[in-house]
Amino acid sequence: MNWETTAANPAVPSCDVLVIGGGPAGSTAAALLAEKGHRVTLLDKDRHPRFHIGESLLPANLPLFERLGVADQVRAIGMEKWGAEFVSPWHDQRQTFFFARAWDKSMPHAYQVRRSDFDKVLIDNAAAKGATVIEGCKVRAVDFQPDGSGATVQARHDDGREETFAARFVVDASGRDTFLANRFQAKQRNPRHNSSAMYGHFRNARRHEGQAAGHITIFWFEHGWFWFIPLSDGATSVGATVWPYYMKTRQKSLTDFFLDTIQLCPALAERLQGAELMAGVEATGNFSYVTDRTHGPGYLLIGDAYAFIDPVFSSGVMLAMNGAFAGAEAVDTALREPARTAQAMAAFDRVMKHGPKEFSWFIYRVTNPTMRDLFMAPSNKLRMEEALLSVLAGDIFGRTPIWRSLLAFKAIYYLMSLRHLPRSLAAWRKRRMNIRYVEMPESGVGGQ
């Protein structure tokens, strides 16, 4: 592709990097690459502010905000989150994990945020750093050069106008739309997990007092688990992540079904007594999936465009932004030092796969009775609780030496499972049946 000729043709705007999607992954990558001096164009099919689920952040997000230069803006819109509370109907006590007790004591809290406000902070930051941000513009097709030297991107503005862009590199941050993964038929339902979700926002939900007001609470119940996320404007995000078989039992409106489901969890129902649902209830299926690649010639995938895992540990935004940091380094190397592209992409691949792998070990077992027992009565022998808290804080990419302690925790889990073998086998059979259940059709909750 003749880039000088293309750049001179105003009918085909050219750029070094075209980013598909303006969620946390895309906006972060666009800001970082623009800072590095690349010509970046970000296309987002929606306009900000826009609704999105996933309001709970992790302490490991905070250093990323500092590096992006948005820490003060996030602080201004956030509800401080100092811990995570777990409530189980099979246990007498509640258990709260405080991030300040994690291995690394320097990240004692995170935030809960309205994603409409948070995502706008990030996309505005990308524009401020020099990226060309075009909202209301949906990517329709991407045609890569055979030699991997670039791509032509076809897009349609929300006024119906068609536009073509030429890019040296494409970053797919399209969220659950998984644009390139669908194009390459590279996306598959996670064979080891299967869940659906429904969620809404309430006003006047009962919160804890003082510093605990911002805690996220996870409520286990028979069909899965609930989240309870307080926001700074007084709203509370409540959602149920359930096995798909349960969603198939719905024979009434989604709102009524959701409210009835809440009643199956008395501890949550008590927190919502007198609360009012603020708007309609949303639902999504095919909740967990993975893509068979993180990159290819002239492109890479970040955030939910690569994979989505069950959100029980609020890892989504952190994994998306951390992947964007790694992706920006890889793209910068590929554009400046093509001879080092393979090495850079291999390093990026390791980062992208590491996060889902470490969180998923816990996610696959979080509804198992043995794992519930360990969470509800944690032990810090061999610093296991500190290591577990580091995972809950998202501190899995740095130099914090948590891995031997996590290995000890996993060994305890397996030993306890053997000790209660009949219970463990029953839980394994139930889970196996649930993940093989045919899931509900996917709703359009994309991130482009």
Beta bridge partners of residue 218, listed in sequence order: 86, 227
**Homologous superfamily of 3-71+115-187+289-358:** FAD/NAD(P)-binding domain (3.50.50.60)
Closest listed residue to residue 122, CA positions, set 15, 59, 20, 49: 49
Q: How far is CA 418 from CA 24, 374, 388, 429, in A?
A: 42, 14, 21, 15
The pTM assigned to this predicted structure is 0.93
Instruction: Note whether 235 and 276 are within 8 A (CB).
Output: no
Intervals of the chain under pLDDT 50: 1-8, 10, 439-448
Domain residue limits, the chain: 3-71+115-187+289-358
Taken in order 22, 25, 28, 31, the sign of the CA dihedral is negative
Tell me the three state secondary structure of residue 307. Answer: strand
Q: How far is CA 53 from CA 67, 74, 168, 308, 390, in A?
A: 24, 17, 32, 13, 24
**What is the predicted pLDDT for the residue at 440?**
40
Question: Which residue is listed with tokens 């078989």?
Answer: 245
pLDDT per residue as tens digits for the range 153-184: 999 999 999 999 999 999 999 999 999 999 99
Query: What is the DSSP secondary-structure string of 26-57?
Result: HHHHHHHHHHTT--EEEEESS-SS---S--B-
**What is the predicted pLDDT for the residue at 1?**
41
